[in-house]
A and B are shown apart, each in its own frame.
Chain A
């Protein structure tokens, strides 16, 4: 394939969502200005604080920052007139919500085109190695694209529900779109870059753009979740940067030139020359730091708060792919560490972290009273299974781990989007106050139930195949890992029981049918169908999956 096309295919997954975000920001600004031109009684002329202007480098950056201090106190009063003013036009502007499907479509198309090239010709690179795609990159891009498709396709229904309930003023819908697409752009950049420094910058950028998505409601709980999210993730990921710096130091001392000392393929090729003591320290920091973002102990405390407070489609994206994008970063470092230090170091580290995370998640699932937090802890459970697969490190375990990432992404995105529907239906996220969802709203209830069934690891969904694969690989890997695997399975069983009884409690029981229209739920059906299809046959993705696992294999 010629160089220009390669460069284009590697640039577009990150650039297209950014362009969509910029487009939303521009249109949002224009409509905001138009609505400001209409005089109203009070405060309405004041713009609400908009991060949008900052993320897309709009000239109004400084003004956007200042307006926050001015706008406070009037925020709640201002929203009402805005809604009245814009309500008649709201219907006409709904198509704008659907424009958000452009980014996931582009990511999926680029992923598919890259897949055929990567499977045939091996890794592709562009811009003197800054962007690079191997089978792992492409696999993760496809997962991001698929989960983003579910999340973005569920967004119009979610936003319509929020508008109808008067929970969001119209301007924050624009802000929502801008931030979601900037979020997608940052995740894609983290996947396609080969430079470990740029990888860090992209993952930190995901924290920044999602901060206001988590805190979008301005209620006490949302603000608290957003604060914890930004502080814990920024501090955690700062550790990962310190680790990156130490690896860079080791690489420079091993004689790698400055421009290539953070380049992943170069580091992998020269890994045997890295100083073991410095590398050990660096890798530990990197695993702890990116582990914060991937929901692993000890810096996991942000996860249940943020996932329960974010809007449902954003929770779907965060849980479905953000965690695994951060974990993909750990996987990249793991290969370097294994080449430099031998496999035992990361194996012990990751097994320990995975078992601790699993124990914590299982324990808190048993006592859980909030269904969105329940799904969040279930994400921690599944990420620790993926970490365990990485610790085992055999080809079967790695392939199963990557399949688990895909299956969990699809099933969890579906579950979170459905839980958003239940939240809008019932107005509470307490498990104890929700009963009879199946009777009240059969489609929504069934989809939520099936998504949880998928998460529990029942066939035909792909999590069954991947959990089976991880367990088999674990017991085949030797006595130490076999015991770890046995402990993990016991903990998974506890989580299984907790998740199953709580979901059954929510779904079953008497309820008044609401006469829902199932038409808005097609993205969820699509997600479950994809998850089931992956479980039955990997099909054309099989080659890609085995090559992606081969990228991570121990030398």
Chain B
């Protein structure tokens, strides 16, 4: 692969990666948000794949395949299944899921869509400002795209803080995690394999735990609005 083509494809993948995070802020249907998260997982796998091809490292290509399977396949599947369970539970046999249920929409985000998108722009600028020393240390095409990873980390945090549905918060956490993984790839072609495996395993378990907790939140509070969790305070 020529250097120019590699740079262009890498920038394209990074652009798609960032765009997916921004569009998550725009959409309110949880199904659409999960689909965007899966697309972002594909973009992340593409980044890893491009780096692997560029550096002729087979292990990186295998890691890319694993990341694609986990973040574009398994994790979105788990969240979608949790969503279906919540909907089925509420509608008791309703044949058209995702239509009427309150549970599948983020009806009252803390910050409205326009303000969210503006914040995303501000966060991206912040990421570029913060990442300046990181890029200056070793200016290659990959590290020049590094601010994108940090921007997605910040947007993930923003989603986590402003979204009130339990499952939307889970997606926020996963965006954050995608951003960190992308940063690791763009900065240093990924962390060592044993750490990558451990991290992926931890993320998978964390999502399973959060999925079970979502069901329990629903059982205990009758809703998955995190704002309703107000029993404990000082």
CB within 8 Å of B: which residues of A? 49, 51, 54, 65, 68-69, 72-73, 75, 195, 197-198, 200-201, 204-205, 207-208, 211-212, 215, 218-221, 223-228, 230-231, 234-235, 238, 241-242, 244-246, 248-250, 252-253, 258-259, 261-262, 275, 277-278, 281, 304-305, 308-309, 364, 367-368, 373
Contacts and interface: CB of A to CB of B under 8 A. Distances in A.
Given A231-B160, A304-B234, A212 B202 contact: no
Nearest to A237: B202
Given A218-B216, A223-B220, A245 B183 contact: yes
Nearest to B232: A305
A75 B195 CA distance: 38
A220 B221 contact: yes
A201 B199 contact: yes
Contacts of A305: 232
B173 interface: yes
Contact of A246 (B187, B199, B210): B187
A224 B231 contact: yes
A245 B187 contact: yes
A207 B213 CA distance: 13
Contacts of A212: 209, 212
Interface in B141-194: 153, 157, 160, 166, 169, 173, 176-177, 180, 183-184, 187-188, 191-192, 194
A54 B166 contact: no
B130 interface: yes
B13 to A, nearest CB: 19
B180 A241 contact: yes
Contacts of A278: 133-134, 137
A235 B217 CA distance: 19
Contacts of A262: 191-192, 195
B133 A69 contact: no
A235 B176 contact: yes
A227 B138 CA distance: 40
B216 A249 contact: no
A230 B212 contact: no
A461 B228 CA distance: 43
Given A234-B173, A275-B137, A218 B199 contact: no
Given A227-B213, A258-B192, A278-B137, A204 B206 contact: yes
Interface in B199-222: 199, 201-202, 205-206, 208-213, 215-217, 219-221
A223 B206 contact: no
Interface of B: 85, 89, 130, 133-134, 136-138, 153, 157, 160, 166, 169, 173, 176-177, 180, 183-184, 187-188, 191-192, 194-195, 198-199, 201-202, 205-206, 208-213, 215-217, 219-221, 226, 229-232, 234
A51 B6 CA distance: 44
Contacts of B221: 220, 223
A308 B232 contact: yes
Given A200-B195, A211-B209, 13 more contacts: A204-B206, A211-B213, A215-B216, A221-B231, A224-B229, A230-B209, A230-B213, A234-B173, A248-B184, A248-B188, A248-B191, A277-B133, A367-B234
Top 3 closest pairs, chain A to chain B, by CB: A197-B195, A277-B133, A201-B198
Contacts of A248: 184, 187-188, 191
A250 B137 contact: yes
A231 B173 contact: yes
A69 B205 contact: no
Contact of B137 (A200, A227, A230, A253): A253
